[in-house]
Amino acid sequence: MSTLLSVEDIHTYYGDSYVLQGLSIHVDEGETLGILGRNGMGKTTLINSIMGFVPPRRGAIHFRGEDITTANSFDISKMGIGLCPQGRRVFPTLSVRENLLVAQQEHDVGYRWDFKEVYELFPRLGERAGQRAGSLSGGEQQMLAVGRALMTNPSCLIMDEPSEGLAPMIIQDIGNAIQSLKAEGLAVVLVEQNAAFAVKTVDRVCVITNGKVVHESSPGELWANEEVRRNHLGIG
């Protein structure tokens, strides 16, 4: 397995506040990596650094061997990183269809993902294609956020807390969608608070505390490790 995305010892700040303090992770091709950690530990900041929203002050990020540490977000997206952000961040004044349309990118090779494929994965979106995204329910917005990220035809999909604030039924739907993307060989980075949901889905987990990776293992090992669960995830 070759490495798709590697984050090497990054240090990220918001102004003076020092959030990521020498954090390293890597994602292999076709792998699903889970990132766990309690509130405010720097998970979203890690995603912001990868996407170029908040570039790290030190350290490096490589994607497919290319240095993207200080690249523009739109170039990072075009290289094949798809983002489904925390809080969904759909474009509220655009229709569902327009949300997908603006994410569509020109490719030399054929598209895997187009309107038809996204509507097949989430039939609810197809039924609401003309509706303003701001008026969708939370679950539908989450589906739209995933669909929008897929429209960019990524080779690595980053999902930041997709289960946040959703009913168990909808979480199940999203989980099934992730499983089918995984089966296609798409690499996925799944950031989660909901550890029970994450360990069912991922191949490997990293636990982040205070801007550093404090534990890395298979999901089974993590579940068996009382100490990490209690100290770093707050679940007994």
Site string for ligand ATP, 13-42 (x = CB under 6 A): -x--x-x-----------------x-xxxx
> Of 186, 219, 194, which is closest to residue 43 (Cα–Cα)?
194
- Cα–Cα distance between 158 and 7 in angstroms, integer? 14
Report yes or no: 197 and 173 within 8 Å, Cβ to Cβ: no
| Secondary structure (3-state) at 82 | strand
- Cα–Cα distance between 62 and 56 in angstroms, integer? 13
Site string for ligand ATP, 154-193 (x = CB under 6 A): ---------------------------------------x
Nearer to ligand ATP, 85 or 219 (CB): 85
| Secondary structure (3-state) at 140 | helix
| Interaction of residue 43 with another protein, rule CB under 8 A | no
How does DSSP classify residue 136? S
Given 89, 116, 200, 230, the residue binding another protein (CB under 8 A):
89
Given 6, 21, 73, 194, the residue binding another protein (CB under 8 A):
73
Give residues 70-129 in contact with ligand ATP (rule: CB under 6 A): 86
H helix runs in 5-85, sequence order: 43-50, 73-79
Residues at the interface with another protein (CB under 8 A)? 51-53, 72-74, 77-78, 82-83, 85, 89, 91-94, 98-99, 101-103, 105, 148-149, 151-152
